[in-house]
Amino acid sequence: MSYSTLALCFLAVAATAGAALPLLARTRGPSMAALVISAAGLVLLTAVFDSAMIAAELFHYAPTRLLGLHVGLAPIEDFAYSLAAVLLLPSIWVVLLGRRSRRSGRER
Tell me: the pLDDT tens digits for 76-102?
999 999 999 998 988 888 888 776 666
The Cβ of residue 15 has, within 10 Å, a number of other Cβ atoms equal to 15
Mean model confidence pLDDT for the chain:
86
More confident residue, 61 or 103: 61
Distance between CA 66 and CA 106 in Å, rounded? 52
Rounded mean pLDDT, 15-32: 82
Tell me: the pLDDT tens digits for 46-56?
999 999 999 99
Regarding pTM above 0.85, the answer is no
At 81, the amino acid letter reads Y
Each domain of the chain, given as residue ranges in start order, spans 3-14+30-99
